[in-house]
Amino acid sequence: MSYVEDPGPGRGAVPPRAAFTSDAPSLPLNGTWRFRLSPSLAAAPPDVADPEFDDAAWDELPVPSLWQLHGHGEPAYTNVHYPFPVDPPHVPSDNPTGDHRLRFDPPHAWPAGPALLRFDGIDSCGRIWLNGTELGVTKGSRLPSEFEVGPLLRPSGNVLVVRVHQWSAGSYLEDQDMWWLSGIFRAVTLLSRPPGGIGDFWVRADYDHTTGLGTVRVETATDVVLDIPALGVAGHPAAEPLELPVEPWSAESPRLYAGTLSTVAERVPVRIGFRTVSVEDGQLKVNGRRLLLRGVNRHEHDPRTGRVVSSETALADVLLMKRHNVNAVRTSHYPPDPAFLELCDEYGLWVIDECDLETHGFGPLGWDRNPGSEPMWADACLDRMRRTVERDKNRPSVILWSLGNESHTGDNLARMAEWVRHRDPTRPVHYEGDHECSYVDVHSRMYATPGEVDRIGRREDDNERRRDLPFLLCEYAHAMGNGPGGLLEYRELFEKYPNCQGGFVWEWIDHGIAVPGHFAYGGDFGELIHDGNFVIDGLLFPDRTPSPGLTEFAKVIEPVRISADPAGIRVANHYDFASTGHLDFTWLLEEEGTAVAQGVLAVPTVLSGQMTSVPLPSLPATSGESWLTVSATLASATTWAPAGHVVGWGQLPVSAAPARPAPPVRGPVFRTAGQLLLGAGEFDAVTGVLTALGGHSLHGPRLDVWRATTDNDRGSAPGPSEASQWLEAGLHRMQHRVIEVDADGDELVVRTRVAPPAQAFGLFADYTWTAFDGGLRLRVDVTPDGPVPATLPRLGLVMALPGTFGSAEWFGGGPGEAYPDSCQAVRIGRFSSSVDGLQTPYVFPQENGNRTAVRWAGFTAPDGTGLRVDGEREFGFTARRWTAAALEAARHTDELVSGSLVHLTLDVAQHGLGTAACGPGVLPRYRLEPRKTSFALTLRPVAGGVAN
Ligand code: IPT
């Protein structure tokens, strides 16, 4: 059998060992290589390994890279399905094969003797030659391989050749939900290995929270000396346990001690974090404390380079996580570039380090011949686990090992767990696919509903082993498109039940690929089978701009919670370890969104898990609607945010808006040719629709229930999706029948029935218009006629404004968008934005940009003229330069083209978002059931701005 289809782990590599750098010479071999892509192994040039082979005519390719992102072949996206026949371990003969060649000269001072060639990642299979001699074959794309090359190295003119195959037997083990991309995508390094150097080591650093003592002991094959200057440790024989008082490491206080391991031949800098992970009392603990994992699933993605992620990008991820209160990462679904884990150590993130294993595509085939249980894959499975653990064993941030993802269950998985438990008893084993929890140490689920989590929290499980384990959601809150909705309900459960220890949002970043004009997703590269935009399901847009979902998540998981309390202001500390000692508390009083006063709030230090109440500061009197915003900010800069960065905030109502007596009604309605005139308004006499106000031409408002469906609306969770029910009911194509236009006296009453074609049900919508000095009042009464067979996407009005009304200002919820089940992150204030700036550029266009809890909103032209809307109760609005129908039709952001109008929706209600794209739908309390509804608002033309 060809090495390509050999289900074994590869050949020729030295045993796996820890990732580290030392003072021994090393030579990065990243850079410009020669490259040639052949359509198959058979078509590839036979003699590339020959150092004399002439590659002058080949292309150049950067290494690391993925060749499909450099004009060779195309990316392809599938979620679950293998893009080739499931015929294990065979792969297509048309197997794109990329030959990579590099000529290199080690520096003059390069020592003779042993040397290793290290590949941090080759996708999916590489055969390697140095100076014409084969070194071996590597599989396990997201894992390192090292080859002994000392005897082969020449002082100059070395020729390194790597033949990479897109498909190999290893592909069966790498069916993660991501782009299929190929190449040498992580670093290549030549490492001198001095005789008597430190081949491998394991710094075991524990912390005893009962004594405050740390213990450090280094496992190595050689005699090594340990120095830790900050602890006064000098010249200590590293293998001998050393017990001493230390500050522990945690994600909140990632105290690392710089140290050195040395032999006469080599010095290795190490950073030691003392911490002890345990499972006790059915809880996952570190240093004796229960953790609450506020986590995300992180794939490695860059919109231009794919899984080639620079250390700058890895740092950007870590900083964004820390600034958004994220405290944990699951490295879905493979070990990340090692640099990322060093950053997790340094900045403080709890990590589930996951093995590069997923065989999801066997699922649709009933898991028949699944590699998790077939003997022929046993070595490969174990090899991947070993390489994961050996590489990352020195990282204090890694607190759980994960066997992989979506690989069903079987002996090979059980054996991986057994090996881990034996090799590293200090870290529990995670694997979601072991549903019986027979070989894992934590119970893990994905996308469990709040109801299921509640049952797990109550420990009502019949399976005793599972019942008594700590529980976490390795995936939940699918962040596809607009969403996730319903985060708050999960937080409540995590806080209610000690064994429910949080989870990891799916997922961190949209894997959109930058192409001119937009980000591409599955199907955009002509794939035969693909899963469309299911790869666009992150909290970050592909360019790492936070989406509203991340803002919401940051607020829901904030470690300090500030709320109103009978005694004044309540401050609750939700950190796992830290007190509030590092925070300042400030307050800001705003009247109708305008700052009136501010100050510092004296809050005594609150310990982890505690809360305190402090009296309100003395506040100046206000007459308009006023809110007190209290913020907890970093008192001094940290490594991840400047001083003043807000980690938590709360708003307290101080004074309500004064009751405004309704202005005297000014009638009557006049009839002219084809028109009805009422106050500043002009109406179409036949349809009763407002056509102008104060001289500005308008159209509407009219009743409107449609929204451009979100990915979650289209998800089925289970049962037919909300969107399909809406479409079947015809809610996207409602027709308006005018029953009566009654224009007698001071009121204009327009009675209508709004209903879809082919259906018997409808909604009566009565519009009652009156005029007052300066504007119009509209009352809308909506009454369902017959049973409406679905929920409503929204309930409100739509109207068209002149396109010049391009600036919005409002008093209400902001600054960002919100929906009923995703509205924790908005505060009440006064906000302004251009209409263009109100849009959230979801990679796959869909409903977005809804502002909620709005008291008033204005839309103005550059000259200050425009329209102001005041609700008699809070309303929501969107304003966009295209219709909901155009938004629904668009497949990429650049298909949205601004028209000549601003389309404004004014809503009393929206259906929630939920996470039905993968997971539970909209919870009952956030569903918009059609019912009789009345609401009223005023419309006024303005000149010189909207605020009054
Ligand atoms: C789950 C996968 O583990 C994850 O990789 C991703 O594909 C996610 O779904 C959806 O985006 S598995 C699914 C069957 C719940």
Cis peptide before 642 (omega within 30 of 0): no
Identity of the amino acid at 350: W
Sign of the Cα pseudo-torsion (288, 290, 296, 297, in order): positive
- Distance (Å, whole) CA 115 – CA 107: 14
177 lines ligand 1 (CB under 6 A): yes
915 lines ligand 1 (CB under 6 A): no
Q: Please provide the DSSP assignment of 734-760 as one string.
A: -EEEEEEEE--TT-EEEEEEEE-TT-S
Task: Choose one of 78, 406, 509 to mutate for the ligand 1 pocket test, by most ligand atoms within 8 angstroms of C-beta.
Answer: 406
Q: In the prediction, which pLDDT does 665 show?
A: 87
432 lines ligand 1 (CB under 6 A): no
Nearest to 337 by CA among 205, 175, 142: 142
Taking the centre of ligand 1 as the mean of its atom positions, its distance from the CA of residue 476, in whole angstroms, is: 9
447 lines ligand 1 (CB under 6 A): yes
Q: In the prediction, which pLDDT does 662 show?
A: 80
Residues with a known catalytic role? 406, 475
79 lines ligand 1 (CB under 6 A): yes
918 lines ligand 1 (CB under 6 A): yes
Taking the centre of ligand 1 as the mean of its atom positions, its distance from the CA of residue 245, in whole angstroms, is: 44
Contact between residue 460 and residue 302 where contact means Cβ atoms under 8 Å apart: no
334 lines ligand 1 (CB under 6 A): no
Identity of the amino acid at 385: M
- Average pLDDT, 10 consecutive residues per value, the chain (948 residues): 93 98 98 98 97 98 98 98 98 98 97 97 98 98 98 97 98 98 98 97 98 98 96 98 98 98 98 98 98 98 98 98 98 98 98 98 98 98 98 98 98 98 98 98 98 97 95 98 98 98 98 98 97 98 98 98 93 98 98 97 98 97 96 98 98 93 86 94 97 96 98 90 98 98 94 98 98 95 97 98 98 98 98 98 98 98 97 97 98 98 98 97 98 97 82
Please name every residue paired with 227 in a beta bridge, in sequence order, or none if there are none.
260
Taking the centre of ligand 1 as the mean of its atom positions, its distance from the CA of residue 284, in whole angstroms, is: 24
Q: In the prediction, which pLDDT does 673 show?
A: 87
At residue 894, what are phi and psi to the nearest 5 degrees? Answer: -80, 0
Element containing residue 496 per DSSP (H, E):
helix 487-496
Chain centroid, CA 739 distance in Å: 49
Helix (H/G/I), strand (E/B), else coil: 478: coil
Give the CA distances from residue 460 to residues 12, 463, 466, in Å, rounded to whole numbers and listed in that order.
51, 9, 10
Closest ligand 1 atom, residue 507 Cα: 11
Contact between residue 739 and residue 751 where contact means Cβ atoms under 8 Å apart: yes
358 lines ligand 1 (CB under 6 A): no
Taking the centre of ligand 1 as the mean of its atom positions, its distance from the CA of residue 177, in whole angstroms, is: 7
Tokens of 185: 């995508």
Taking the centre of ligand 1 as the mean of its atom positions, its distance from the CA of residue 539, in whole angstroms, is: 15
User: 712: exposed, middle or buried (C-beta count within 10 Å: 0-12, 13-18, 19+)?
Assistant: buried
- ∠ CA(604), CA(607), CA(610), 5° rounding? 95
Taking the centre of ligand 1 as the mean of its atom positions, its distance from the CA of residue 309, in whole angstroms, is: 22
Closest ligand 1 atom, residue 176 Cα: 5
Nearest to 339 by CA among 320, 358, 376, 311: 311
405 lines ligand 1 (CB under 6 A): yes
Closest ligand 1 atom, residue 478 Cα: 11
Q: In the prediction, which pLDDT does 566 show?
A: 86
Q: In the prediction, which pLDDT does 429 show?
A: 98
Nearest residue (CA) to ligand 1, atom 7: 177
Nearest residue (CA) to ligand 1, atom 12: 406
What is the greatest pairwise CA distance in the chain? 103
847 lines ligand 1 (CB under 6 A): no
The CB density around residue 619, as the number of other CB atoms within 10 Å, is 15
pTM, whole model, 2 decimals? 0.98
| Residues contacting 516, CB < 8 A, separation 6+ | none
Please name every residue paired with 125 in a beta bridge, in sequence order, or none if there are none.
139, 165
Nearest to 748 by CA among 782, 781, 777, 783: 777
Nearest residue (CA) to ligand 1, atom 10: 918
Closest ligand 1 atom, residue 363 Cα: 14
Taking the centre of ligand 1 as the mean of its atom positions, its distance from the CA of residue 419, in whole angstroms, is: 26
Contact between residue 557 and residue 489 where contact means Cβ atoms under 8 Å apart: no
Taking the centre of ligand 1 as the mean of its atom positions, its distance from the CA of residue 408, in whole angstroms, is: 13
Taking the centre of ligand 1 as the mean of its atom positions, its distance from the CA of residue 175, in whole angstroms, is: 11
Q: In the prediction, which pLDDT does 567 show?
A: 86
Pairing of strands 748-755, 626-634: unpaired
- Distance (Å, whole) CA 806 – CA 808: 7
Q: In the prediction, which pLDDT does 401 show?
A: 99
| Residues contacting 490, CB < 8 A, separation 6+ | 450, 453, 473, 476, 477, 503
78 lines ligand 1 (CB under 6 A): no
- Distance (Å, whole) CA 685 – CA 701: 15
Q: In the prediction, which pLDDT does 356 show?
A: 98
505 lines ligand 1 (CB under 6 A): no
First to last CA, the chain: 81
Nearest residue (CA) to ligand 1, atom 4: 177
| Residues contacting 940, CB < 8 A, separation 6+ | 680, 693, 694, 774, 775, 776, 867, 868, 869, 870
124 lines ligand 1 (CB under 6 A): no
User: 834: exposed, middle or buried (C-beta count within 10 Å: 0-12, 13-18, 19+)?
Assistant: exposed
Task: Choose one of 179, 357, 475, 915 to mutate for the ligand 1 pocket test, by most ligand atoms within 8 angstroms of C-beta.
Answer: 475
Taking the centre of ligand 1 as the mean of its atom positions, its distance from the CA of residue 706, in whole angstroms, is: 29
Taking the centre of ligand 1 as the mean of its atom positions, its distance from the CA of residue 444, in whole angstroms, is: 14
Q: Please provide the DSSP assignment of 274-295 as one string.
A: ---EEEETTEEEETTEE--EEE
Taking the centre of ligand 1 as the mean of its atom positions, its distance from the CA of residue 142, in whole angstroms, is: 19
406 lines ligand 1 (CB under 6 A): yes
Task: Choose one of 446, 478, 507, 510 to mutate for the ligand 1 pocket test, by most ligand atoms within 8 angstroms of C-beta.
Answer: 446
907 lines ligand 1 (CB under 6 A): no
521 lines ligand 1 (CB under 6 A): no
Nearest residue (CA) to ligand 1, atom 13: 918
Nearest residue (CA) to ligand 1, atom 6: 177
- Distance (Å, whole) CA 15 – CA 406: 27
| Residues contacting 41, CB < 8 A, separation 6+ | 2, 4, 93, 95, 97, 165
- Distance (Å, whole) CA 163 – CA 126: 5
729 lines ligand 1 (CB under 6 A): no
Closest ligand 1 atom, residue 480 Cα: 11
Taking the centre of ligand 1 as the mean of its atom positions, its distance from the CA of residue 274, in whole angstroms, is: 34
Give the CA distances from residue 280 to residues 400, 421, 429, 499, in Å, rounded to whole numbers and listed in that order.
15, 16, 14, 10
475 lines ligand 1 (CB under 6 A): yes
Tokens of 343: 């950053």
Contact between residue 510 and residue 533 where contact means Cβ atoms under 8 Å apart: no
Closest ligand 1 atom, residue 80 Cα: 7
Please name every residue paired with 505 in a beta bridge, in sequence order, or none if there are none.
296, 476
Contact between residue 464 and residue 692 where contact means Cβ atoms under 8 Å apart: no
User: 532: exposed, middle or buried (C-beta count within 10 Å: 0-12, 13-18, 19+)?
Assistant: middle
Element containing residue 487 per DSSP (H, E):
helix 487-496
Helix (H/G/I), strand (E/B), else coil: 306: strand
Closest ligand 1 atom, residue 534 Cα: 11
